Amino acid sequence: MDFFKLFSREDTSSKNVAKERLKLVLVHDRTNCSSDFLEMIKGDLLKVISDYMEIDEEGTDIKITKTKRTADEAMVPALIANIPIKKMKTR
């Protein structure tokens, strides 16, 4: 472990945060997906997943980004969901 990294600024500078936010805004514009629509998707996903497992809704991160398609390497929009699971529900 590098001792000096403990005192240095992490890679979350305001410049990097702004760049990531701008990327997300551009992807949302290109996919015609408003923030309201994304919130509706998030709500629906959480409702369905909650039937099967207990989740941490505060730690949930759902966004639209771009990824490479494996078939032809084209950049396509992708829905990325990071949903922390607390425990599985038994039926």
Of 49, 46, 50, the residue nearest 62 (C-alpha): 46
Residue 64, pLDDT score: 78
Backbone angles phi, psi at 64, to 5 degrees: -105, 130
**pLDDT < 70: residue spans in the chain:** 1-12, 24-33, 91
For residue 3, the model assigns a pLDDT of 44
Phi-psi label, residue 73: left if phi above 0, alpha if psi -120 to 50, beta otherwise: left
Amino acid 1: pLDDT: 45
> pTM of whole model > 0.75?
no
Q: Where are the domains of the chain?
A: 14-88
Q: In whole angstroms, give the CA distance from residue 60 to residue 47.
A: 13
Give me the residues paired with residue 65 across strands: 78
Task: Give the pLDDT confidence score for residue 25 in this predicted structure.
Answer: 65
Can you give the pLDDT at residue 15?
78
